[in-house]
């Protein structure tokens, strides 16, 4: 199982919007809308930000949104804030008997 | 509110094994799926495997097949991850996480640092 492909880094200024892509294959991202996204600050455990492709857990800002087109899932953060600076990871799920797979991670810098 | 509390940091010799625990409080442990995810220093997240305690079924990433064993003790609401034949590349923070019905990791343990060094 190969890791999903994410850009190594993205950046944006406060108030702007950025999008992080997550590219897989027709066997994982393309087959199911079961991509989740995680935010990780240095030295902390990851935090779930988006699940089932586009749903937000309770307590997560509506500035975070998820979508999918073909074999690529995307995380969009609008109205960038300083505290959004973190690493972001996507993960694809294809059933309880198949391996989950993470993307390589994207470092978001808020300029 | 469900919490996952992991065991403390470990230092191991190459070739040895390590067993990390993950104790759940709150909720119904048997109905969860628990996954293990590791993160080497400065690297990304890597899924290792999962267990469904109510079924006692575990499955693993191909990379770790034969070296990792994930178990669960329903009586103590604790999941375990044992990794054998340790090498320096296994130095990482190991996380347990609750996996919901559609694969999202909604609750995470605090992480356990495992250092493999001679």
Cβ contacts (< 8 Å) between B35 and chain A: which residues?
100
In DSSP terms, B116 is beta-bridged to: B12
Nearest to A51 among B61, B95, B104 (CB): B104
DSSP annotation of A3: P
Are the C-beta atoms of residues B45 and A38 closer than 8 Å to each other? yes
If you average pLDDT over residues B13-30, what whole number do you get? 91
The full DSSP string for B5-41 is EE---EEE-TT--EEEEEEEESS-GGG-EEEEEEE-T
Share of chain B above pLDDT 70, in %: 100
Of B30, B11, B31, B32, whose CA–CA distance to B20 is shortest?
Answer: B11
Assign B14 a pLDDT band (cuts: 50, 70, 90).
Answer: very high
Mean pLDDT lowest among A26-35, A47-56, B100-109: A26-35
Chain B CB within 8 Å of residue A26 CB: no
If you average pLDDT over residues B95-115, what whole number do you get? 96
From the centroid of its chain, how far is CA B25? Answer: 16
Q: What is the mean pLDDT of chain A?
A: 95
Quick check: A33 pLDDT over 90? no
Strand, helix or coil for residue B98 = strand
Assign A98 a pLDDT band (cuts: 50, 70, 90).
Answer: confident
Of B36, B108, B64, B47, whose CA–CA distance to A101 is shortest?
Answer: B47
Cα–Cα distance, A35 to A29 (Å, whole number): 7
Burial class (CB in 10 A: 0-12, 13-18, 19+), B41: exposed
CB pair distance less than 8 Å for B45 and A89? yes
If you average pLDDT over residues A65-77, what whole number do you get? 96
Q: Label the pairing between strands B3-6 and A101-102.
A: unpaired
Residue A79 to chain B, least CA–CA distance (Å): 24
Are the C-beta atoms of residues B96 and B112 closer than 8 Å to each other? no
In DSSP terms, A88 is beta-bridged to: A39, A106
Share of chain A above pLDDT 70, in %: 99
Quick check: B108 pLDDT over 90? yes
Quick check: B28 pLDDT over 80? no
Residues 6+ apart with CB under 8 A from A56: A49, A50, A62, A64, A65
pLDDT at A31: 86
CB pair distance less than 8 Å for B46 and A91? no
If you average pLDDT over residues B21-35, what whole number do you get? 87
pLDDT at A18: 98
């Amino acid at each position: 199982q190969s890791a999903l492909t994410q850009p190594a880094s993205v950046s944006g200024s406060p108030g702007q919007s950025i999008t992080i892509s997550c590219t897989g294959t027709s066997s994982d991202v393309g087959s199911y809308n079961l991509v989740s996204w995680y935010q990780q600050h240095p030295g902390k455990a990851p935090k779930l930000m988006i699940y089932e492709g586009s749903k937000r857990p309770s307590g997560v800002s509506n500035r975070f949104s998820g979508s999918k087109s073909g074999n690529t899932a995307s995380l969009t953060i609008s109205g960038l804030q300083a505290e959004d600076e973190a690493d972001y990871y996507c993960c694809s799920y294809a059933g309880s008997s198949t391996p989950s797979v993470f993307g390589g991670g994207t470092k978001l810098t808020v300029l | 509110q469900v919490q996952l509390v992991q065991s403390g940091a470990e230092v191991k010799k190459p070739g040895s094994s390590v067993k990390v625990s993950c104790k759940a409080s709150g909720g119904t442990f048997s109905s969860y799926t628990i996954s293990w995810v590791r993160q080497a220093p400065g690297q990304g997240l890597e899924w290792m495997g999962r267990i469904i305690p109510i079924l006692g079924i575990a499955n693993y990433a191909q990379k770790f097949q034969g070296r990792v064993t994930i178990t669960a003790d329903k009586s103590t609401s604790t999941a375990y991850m044992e990794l054998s034949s340790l090498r320096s590349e296994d130095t990482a923070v190991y996380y347990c996480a609750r996996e919901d019905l559609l694969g999202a990791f909604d609750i995470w343990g605090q992480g356990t640092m495992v250092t493999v060094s001679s």
